[in-house]
Structure 1
Amino acid sequence: MKKKIAKKNKNWFVLVLKLIGFGLLLLLLFIGSIYIGLWGKIPSKTDLADLKQAEASLILDKNEELLGKYFVFDRSIVSFEDLPKYLVDGLVATEDARFYEHGGIDYPSFFRVFFKSVLLQDNSAGGGSTITQQLAKNLFGRKDYWMLSMPINKIKEMIVATRIEDVYDKNDIIALYLNTVPFSENTFGIESASYRFFNTSTKNLTLSEASTLVGTLKANHSYNPRLFPERSQLRRDVVLQQMVKYGYIDEDARLNVSNHPVEIDYHKFTYNEGLAPYFRENVRKQASQILDSINNSGDTEYDLYKDGLKITTTLDNTMQEYAEKGMTKHMERLQSQFEKAYGSNAPWLKDEVMITELIKKTPKYELLKKENLSEAEIMVALNKKSKKPIFSYEGDTIVSISTIDSLKHYLKFLNTGFVALEPNTGAIRAYVGGINFEHFKYDHVSMGKRQVGSTFKPFVYTTALESGMDPCTYISVKEVTYTNEEDWTPSNGSKDETDPHMNFSLEKALSQSINTIAVKLLDKVGIPAVINQARKMGVTSELPDVPSLALGTAELSLLELTASYTSYVNKSVPSKPYFVEKIEDKNGKILYEYKPSKPMDPAFSEKTRQTMIEFMKATINEGTAKRMRSTYGLSNDMAGKTGTTQDNRDGWFMAITPNLVMGSWVGNDDHRIGFSNTSIGQGANSALPIVANFVSQLNKNNDFNSITKAKFETPSAEVLEAIDCNPDKRDGFFKRLFGKKEKEKAFGE
């Protein structure tokens, strides 16, 4: 009986051994099938030795500070030498304590996880993957194999991990891992994460910052330091405890960090957000054209979004921050003034003809029209409310709003443009294309063209001086009716400007922006001469051959106008604005470098240049732009010109300093909507404060002393003598009594 039982047990034992052997055979066959590629090709050592990962191209300012990125995946590569020691130590202590001991697979950890997680269903066992296995997953991802997904992907990663360990040393593996691992908010790589959450490069991370980022790797969303600061801090402290446990830091170092909260300096580099979005869009267009030219002329192929290029631009990040802050501060206040001045009679509320016309241009209206809906049905649909984000200066808010109400909401907003140019090079140092790029994509610096108003007058005065006119020529402010121009009678505003017996010198006439005198000067020198002078100063837009040209009926872009003004401080030569200094590949090879084109010939004489600077200095000191001194208290050496167009539709201000030329424009995108009154809409009130706010901030930063403390050169003795006269004179008694009555004439006689 005992023999039978023993035999039976032996048979069972043999059967179990056979089953185990068969199972092991199946497992080996299964692993072998994965190894030979039946479940998808596994990268070879040769493949791994030539890893190419898509890298974000970096947009840098003139000082090589990060401005933005172009990317498919937000990833920027850094070398191991740029990784702080405590970042590496924190990663190893938290993610793979035996990293330096294994060859890609930590077998004790693997079997612990296998038995506890798979056999005992204990979820507290942890992940079990080494840093090298995680790297394999980051590099090649995981595929869906239905019920076998987990074992197939895990085995693949183990195979790839051992090959990675054969190809790379431990330092290279750490660098590869940190360059490819996803952090919070779909940010790939430690460099991108460092800039996003702490606005610094990886090499400058503190122990607290490094530990915070390592802590997010356990659960990217749950430990996001922006969304969940307290939870992120607790996870950071766990990382620090692990570093103490494995001897990387001491307890004092841990306490020194743990006793302080996580402090982030969040910067999101997206298309719509971040610093200088309008400028970055111009850089994107220009860089794409440059790369297309390079790709078409050689065997190389460069991709702006994948190849980790470095694009160094002309912008100065600090100046740009000042420009954007100055713009927002002023425009929020001006918008409130603008709306209050109109009250309940605002055209975006009352002008049914204009509103109906705009409604019919909306994509939703056109779509409903194609569906053959009646006008009444379309209006019902367009008045239906839905929740959507809308722009406000306090921040975007989600509101329930109809398509028509949304149109009216955006129609009321004033918009703006601001640009600052280095006059001797044309380098763009600051660039604000509008009040908000996400909601107002139209670029009001380089795309928009509007009537320039009185900012065109310096072209007329420059022409007059070039024709030989004495700066102390006195011209009557009296109105003249031009009979051959449909009895057109340009007029002025203030009492002095309407006194028919008052005569102004050219300096006062320009500084006070006297319309009647500007037209009379144009009449004297001729429209063709003024147009020719503007062309010499870099203006390429069409200029109307009409007397009202003197008052700024020409439509120019802000960038074009500002560039023409650079001639007044660039030896009479207009500079050509540019965005990109150079483009390098990820290895530092220069692919493109800006080379200035041959400069244009001087647009006018040195005598005229110095005289015009003196004229426009008077505009700032006692003329239409005196708010720069009286309201804003700016003592900088500065010249300039204000501009306001008909019906207060556009406000302009041009400012010239020896080393920086600035221009600003303000208006509504719909030409039919102007300011309700001149006191609000004039350039001195609508556009000048943007420049004033910008210069005020520059003045507080000693880094910009070369701009803010720069002085205009002393005019020559000849110029000083030529402009040494009283600013105005009134006709004497007999001239008032018997003088020629200049009331009507033909323009161009």
Structure 2
Amino acid sequence: MATKKQNPESRNFSKYIRLFWMLFLGGVLFVVLLFLFTSLFGDLPDHTVLENPKTNLATEIISSDGKTLGKFYFNDNRTPVGYEELPDHLVEALIATEDARYHSHSGVDARGTLRAIFKFGSGGGASTISQQLAKQLFHGEGSRNIIERILQKVKEWIIAIRLERQYTKEEIIAQYFNIYDFGNNADGIRSASRIYFNKEPKELDLKESAMLVGMFKNSSLYNPRRNPIGVTNRRNVVLSQMEKYDFINQTLKDSLQKTELDLNYSPESHREGIATYFRGYLNGFMKDWIKDNPKPDGTKYNLYNDGLKIYTTIDSRMQQYAEDAVQQHMSRLQAEFFNQNTPDRNPTAPFLDLSKASIDSLLNRSMRQSERWRHMKYDLNMSNNEIEKSFHKPTQMTVFKWEKGKPSEFDTIMKPIDSIRYYKSFLRTGMMSMDPLTGHVKAWVGGMNYRHFQYDMVKQGRRQVGSTFKPFVYATAIDQLHLSPCDEFPDTPFCIEKGKYGNQEDWCPKNAGNDYGGIRTLKNALANSVNTVTARLMDKVGPQPVIDLVRKLGVESDIPAVPSIALGASDLSVYEMVGAYSAFANKGVYTKPVMVTSIMDKNNTLLYQFTPETRDVLSDETAYVTVKLMEGVTQGGSGTRLRSKGADSYRADYREIITGYPYGFTNPIAGKTGTSQNQSDGWFMGMVPNLVTGVWVGGEERSVHFKSITYGQGAAMALPIWGVYMKSCYADKDLNISKGNFEVPSELSINVDCSNASSGSLLDDDPDTPDDLSGF
């Protein structure tokens, strides 16, 4: 029987079937062999590496109210977040745009891969989110050679499948968001959301999420600062993808595509942002801690790569109020200083009482101490003569200025030596605020602008404290002699004779304007900063007991045992002064200032926890009586202006700050102003029961100061910063800053009610008394 011939079409179909199966089985065999012989592709990450991918993590600085103050990092400003911290629409935007079948594959999308193969890539790539994460984590972009690119793709398959076995889908998405570089130091989604929108990731809205997901295509090309139009178009593509896969409806898509990017660019750098001076201090603190606290394996922690978490005492709200107060006041104070130091009014501006030779010497000394000199000398190996000549050649530079009450910059051409003189003309400031009971430092402002003035005037800088030292003399006298604020002393010329306490000559301090007032109570004398009464107290107790007291109050700076220290002849820091004053508010107990409460590693393992350091220094009675003395400063002395209810707005020329103080405080406030000789330094120390704050203002050089006491006193230079700051703190009810009375000791034997005591003649409460340091 003859065999029936097969139809040619059937033969061709069978051939195609066999070819398909040969290709399919060959492909499967090829992939299996690839997975079996992974050594062909070089090193691939093993199980442990997949669990602990080597990514650099920035160290995060966290405030007491849970906000990020800043970070320490070199190249990678990355702080990872968990999947639960990502909003749903951010994840949906990623899946819709990068991997629509993400939840249905196991690392490799076979359908997408076949599409890419048969269309030779023209239909889009086939990389899944897992493959893209594998590329980011372990081998980068790879080569352009076609063979190497194929091998790279196989590596991605292998690693992606391993990732899918190792992690959940949610963990892979979180890692992908955390690893990506969004540009502008925005490493990872947390930095990106903070830098581009000043938000935490969970606070992002839909269009913001779409913009960030759009940047995954190419963050260098789609940079919202350089290419806003391209980024907007790319964002709209993401929104279209979300509508395509039913994550949003068409109406919402259309409305969002018409909107602007609405960036809130907030760069995160070491010289920008909030609490920059505090972060500068913290950098040194952490380096010392790392030196003394190695890892369990003996290696050292890396401050910039190990993802440490530093929990601090700084309250981000109070820190912001402090910085705002400094900016508000210093910009206006500086405007008046410039007004008084025009070339016509002061040919040697900004210096006063200096000859040309002295000014030249000062500028040359500053030149040799500058960072520019150090760089040229040690990095470029230039000779002193070459460097000095360069300081007299015009150079393009960016310099600081105040503009509309805020720090600003402008580009100019200036000789570096002239720029030194220019910067000398700016008044500086330092401010610190602390809870006296816990020692927790709540705010730290070391200057007006860290980018241009990096010297920290809270802890690094030390300046003459003027009359703010007087409460230590009074406290010593109260402690030794059981004096009352109501006790009376003559306000007449007084001298401590030569050699009595090591002084080289007779010390005869004078009152402001040689004004003397008969008999004064101690409360009235401190309120009006009367030098002669303070000198009489110093004569009764001697310098050494006063020095012993301030040492116990945490002051470490050098204080010579001579009578003139009574008027603040010594140079102390704001940090020391706030710590010492806090003991008065804390019933005589000194609590060392605390800035760091704990340190954790990236896995939230506790590495450090602070231990409070306290000591009893004064009896609670002596501390309370001293506080009552200082309350007189704000009731009838140089701090009385805190009680006024002046205008809420200031004139641009600053004079309104002198004539109208819009504070209107009615609660108990203890404080002391201080003004050093020639108005070179202005201080105000202010206390309420649960907050002590110190403020200093002055020039970098002591020859940079106001001519008159009207503007140069502590009550005009420093007190307004305290007033603006406290007004903001009181307005924020969540802070619970006390408006109550200081607690009265259970046993109080000293009379503090001076309502029936003689008060003598009062000085005008406007001017503070500059301190006569002629015997120092």
Q: TM class, shorter-chain normalised? A: 0.7 to 0.9
- Among residues 354, 358, 362, which one is paired with 2:362 in the alignment? 354
Corresponding position of 1:608:
622
- Aligned partners of 1:218, 1:277: CA distance in 2, in Å? 34
Counterpart code for 2:743: E
Higher helix share: 1
Q: Secondary structure of the residue that 2:398 maps to in structure 1?
A: strand
Q: 1:542 to 1:439 in 2, by over 3 A?
A: same
Corresponding position of 1:442:
455
Q: 1:228 to 1:686 in 2, by over 3 A?
A: farther
State yes or no: 1:503 paired with 2:519.
Answer: yes
Matches within 5 A, 1:609-648: 609-630=623-644, 631=661, 632-648=663-679
Q: Would the aligned equivalents of 1:184 and 1:216 in 2 still touch at CA under 8 Å? A: no
- Among residues 63, 81, 97, which one is paired with 1:78 in the alignment? 81
Q: Deviations over 1:387-409 (max 9, x none)?
A: 22222223122222221122122
Corresponding position of 1:707:
737
Q: 1:456 to 1:298 in 2, by over 3 A?
A: farther
- Aligned partners of 1:224, 1:710: CA distance in 2, in Å? 53
Q: Secondary structure of the residue that 1:707 maps to in structure 2?
A: coil
Corresponding position of 2:101:
98
Corresponding position of 2:188:
189
Q: Deviations over 1:360-407 (max 9, x none)?
A: 4446557579988796x7654322222222222231222222211221
- Among residues 636, 655, 658, which one is paired with 2:686 in the alignment? 655
Q: Would the aligned equivalents of 1:511 and 1:623 in 2 still touch at CA under 8 Å? A: yes
Counterpart code for 2:363: I
Matches within 5 A, 1:376-455: 380-394=389-403, 395-455=408-468
State yes or no: 1:489 paired with 2:508.
Answer: yes
The worse-fitting range, judged by mean Cα deviation, of 583-592 and 353-362 is: 353-362
Counterpart code for 1:87: L
- Gaps in structure 1 of 5+ consecutive residues: 1-16, 732-746
- Aligned partners of 1:533, 1:102: CA distance in 2, in Å? 73
- Aligned partners of 1:116, 1:86: CA distance in 2, in Å? 31
Q: 1:374 to 1:105 in 2, by over 3 A?
A: closer
- Gaps in structure 2 of 5+ consecutive residues: 1-18, 499-503, 645-660, 763-774
Deviation at 1:259, TM superposition (A): 5.3
Matches within 5 A, 1:537-556: 537-556=553-572
Name the % identity. Answer: 37
State yes or no: 1:675 paired with 2:706.
Answer: yes
Q: Would the aligned equivalents of 2:484 and 2:752 in 1 still touch at CA under 8 Å? A: no
- Aligned partners of 2:62, 2:215: CA distance in 1, in Å? 27
Q: Would the aligned equivalents of 1:185 and 1:221 in 2 still touch at CA under 8 Å? A: no
Q: 1:197 to 1:46 in 2, by over 3 A?
A: same
Deviation at 1:576, TM superposition (A): 0.6
Q: Deviations over 1:282-313 (max 9, x none)?
A: 23333343344332677676433333222211
- Aligned partners of 1:616, 1:227: CA distance in 2, in Å? 56
- Aligned partners of 2:624, 2:715: CA distance in 1, in Å? 24
- Aligned partners of 1:259, 1:378: CA distance in 2, in Å? 56
Q: 1:150 to 1:298 in 2, by over 3 A?
A: closer
Q: Secondary structure of the residue that 1:653 maps to in structure 2?
A: strand
State yes or no: 1:130 paired with 2:131.
Answer: no
Deviation at 1:508, TM superposition (A): 0.8
State yes or no: 1:568 paired with 2:566.
Answer: no
Q: 1:308 to 1:539 in 2, by over 3 A?
A: same
Q: 1:726 to 1:398 in 2, by over 3 A?
A: same
Deviation at 1:156, TM superposition (A): 3.0
Counterpart code for 1:129: S
- Aligned partners of 1:618, 1:727: CA distance in 2, in Å? 15
Counterpart code for 2:631: K
Deviation at 1:269, TM superposition (A): 2.6
The worse-fitting range, judged by mean Cα deviation, of 350-359 and 213-222 is: 350-359
Q: Would the aligned equivalents of 1:99 and 1:131 in 2 still touch at CA under 8 Å? A: yes
- Aligned partners of 1:616, 1:84: CA distance in 2, in Å? 53
- Aligned partners of 1:689, 1:504: CA distance in 2, in Å? 28
Q: Deviations over 1:48-70 (max 9, x none)?
A: 24434332222111122222222
Q: 1:229 to 1:685 in 2, by over 3 A?
A: farther
- Aligned partners of 1:315, 1:373: CA distance in 2, in Å? 45
Deviation at 1:623, TM superposition (A): 0.5
Q: 1:481 to 1:163 in 2, by over 3 A?
A: closer
Deviation at 1:337, TM superposition (A): 1.6
- Aligned partners of 1:473, 1:176: CA distance in 2, in Å? 71
Q: Would the aligned equivalents of 1:339 and 1:346 in 2 still touch at CA under 8 Å? A: no
Corresponding position of 1:743:
none
Q: 1:195 to 1:560 in 2, by over 3 A?
A: same
Corresponding position of 1:578:
594
Q: 1:150 to 1:335 in 2, by over 3 A?
A: farther
Corresponding position of 2:15:
none
- Aligned partners of 1:595, 1:192: CA distance in 2, in Å? 32
Q: Secondary structure of the residue that 1:574 maps to in structure 2?
A: strand
Q: Would the aligned equivalents of 1:282 and 1:579 in 2 still touch at CA under 8 Å? A: no
The worse-fitting range, judged by mean Cα deviation, of 720-729 and 175-184 is: 720-729
Deviation at 1:678, TM superposition (A): 2.1
Q: 1:94 to 1:472 in 2, by over 3 A?
A: same
State yes or no: 1:465 paired with 2:482.
Answer: no
Deviation at 1:236, TM superposition (A): 2.6
Corresponding position of 2:769:
none
The worse-fitting range, judged by mean Cα deviation, of 209-218 and 314-323 is: 209-218
- Among residues 131, 138, 141, which one is paired with 1:140 in the alignment? 138
Deviation at 1:473, TM superposition (A): 2.8
Corresponding position of 1:216:
215
Q: 1:219 to 1:674 in 2, by over 3 A?
A: same
- Aligned partners of 1:549, 1:621: CA distance in 2, in Å? 26
- Aligned partners of 1:611, 1:374: CA distance in 2, in Å? 58
Q: Secondary structure of the residue that 1:404 maps to in structure 2?
A: helix
Corresponding position of 1:596:
612
Q: Deviations over 1:665-696 (max 9, x none)?
A: 11122234333332222111111111111011
Q: Deviations over 1:444-486 (max 9, x none)?
A: 1111111111100001111111222343332222223555253
Q: Would the aligned equivalents of 2:78 and 2:187 in 1 still touch at CA under 8 Å? A: yes
CA RMSD, 1 decimal:
3.2
- Aligned partners of 2:478, 2:384: CA distance in 1, in Å? 63
Matches within 5 A, 1:195-274: 195-226=194-225, 228-229=227-228, 231-255=230-254, 257-258=256-257, 260-274=259-273
Number of corresponding residues: 698
Q: Would the aligned equivalents of 1:386 and 1:401 in 2 still touch at CA under 8 Å? A: yes
Deviation at 1:168, TM superposition (A): 3.2
Counterpart code for 1:624: S
Q: 1:298 to 1:220 in 2, by over 3 A?
A: closer
- Aligned partners of 1:721, 1:325: CA distance in 2, in Å? 37
Q: Structure 2 length as normaliser, TM-score?
A: 0.83
- Aligned partners of 2:418, 2:119: CA distance in 1, in Å? 60
Q: 1:721 to 1:541 in 2, by over 3 A?
A: closer
The worse-fitting range, judged by mean Cα deviation, of 197-206 and 710-719 is: 710-719
The worse-fitting range, judged by mean Cα deviation, of 363-372 and 464-473 is: 363-372
Q: Would the aligned equivalents of 2:475 and 2:622 in 1 still touch at CA under 8 Å? A: yes
- Among residues 666, 669, 675, which one is paired with 2:697 in the alignment? 666
State yes or no: 1:157 paired with 2:156.
Answer: yes
- Aligned partners of 1:112, 1:436: CA distance in 2, in Å? 57
Q: Would the aligned equivalents of 1:544 and 1:553 in 2 still touch at CA under 8 Å? A: no
Q: Secondary structure of the residue that 2:330 maps to in structure 1?
A: helix
Counterpart code for 1:389: T
Q: Deviations over 1:542-562 (max 9, x none)?
A: 211112111101121111111
Q: Would the aligned equivalents of 1:651 and 1:683 in 2 still touch at CA under 8 Å? A: yes
Q: Would the aligned equivalents of 1:35 and 1:42 in 2 still touch at CA under 8 Å? A: no
Q: 1:460 to 1:402 in 2, by over 3 A?
A: same
